[in-house]
Structure 1
């Protein structure tokens, strides 16, 4: 897959989910946009989990832990360049390595992802486990 295809197929979804890693809590409008993009892409719960763990977390966790940078908003262009570069290399041993360490890379955003999953279940008319 080439860079333009990645941007065309995943770009809007990646940018919608990026607020899970901001220093502020996502707004209601952020969660609404996330759910709209997830539904537009027709992702199952497990597919969404892997997008979160493999496609986004390795890039966004590194950016989140960097000393420099503004963490209220993202520079969408720079973020997209990093996400595309990461995902173009995400094959073979790299994919397996990120899968292995994905518990660590998702740790700081997991509570927000869980909140998103609850909202998604409600939007899909499914019962939320207690």
Structure 2
């Protein structure tokens, strides 16, 4: 089974939900990312330049989304940022805001990377 880019966006979006992820969640996300066939470097770019710019505000609101983002809304937003990845302005903005965009998601991302390494064996 091959995961599409939309599947990758949806899996990564779980890192910005307003709840604590468990071991099962980390493994599920890792499996989806591995099924995409994309390199870790490309997945890192998707995480930082397509998903984070769209979802980072969820961690900064008092009552953020906790049960899952709407898949159509997520795909449309991530697609917009995917198209901007070639822009110097977009890359600079993502670098400048990286800590703000990933402060709560980064520990979860690191857990997913560990699970990916374990699953690859």
Task: Give the alignment's TM-score, normalised by structure 2.
Answer: 0.79
- Find the counterpart in structure 2 of residue 94 from structure 1: 90
Aligned to 1:111: 107
Query: Shift of residue 66 of structure 1?
Result: 4.1
Distance in 1 (CA, whole Å) between partners of 2:30 and 2:65 is 25
1:68: Cα distance to partner?
Answer: 6.1
* Structure 2 Cα separation of the partners of residues 104 and 64 of structure 1: 9
Paired with 2:108 and 2:52, the residues of 1 have a C-alpha distance of 13
Q: Which runs of 5 or more structure 1 residues have no equivalent in the other structure?
A: 1-7, 126-130
Q: What displacement does 1:119 show?
A: 1.0
Distance 1:68 1:107, change over 3 A: closer
Distance 1:86 1:111 in 2: 23
Q: Is the 8 A contact 2:50 2:79 kept in 1?
A: no
- The number of equivalent residue pairs is 118
| Partner in structure 1 of residue 26 of structure 2 | 31
1:17 — aligned with what? 12
Unaligned runs of 5+ in 2: none
Question: How does the TM-score come out when normalised to structure 1?
Answer: 0.74
Match of 2:120 in 1: 124
Give the superposed CA RMSD: 2.3
2:70 alignment counterpart = 75
Counterparts of 2:70 and 2:99, CA distance in 1: 26
What is the CA–CA distance in structure 2 between the aligned matches of 1:35 and 1:25, rounded to whole Å? 16
Deviations 1:13-60 (A, max 9, x none): 110111111111224443333222211222333222222111111111
Please, which of 53, 56, 62 is the counterpart of residue 57 of structure 2? 62
Q: Does 1:45 align with 2:40?
A: yes
Q: Which moved more, 1:54-63 or 1:77-86?
A: 77-86
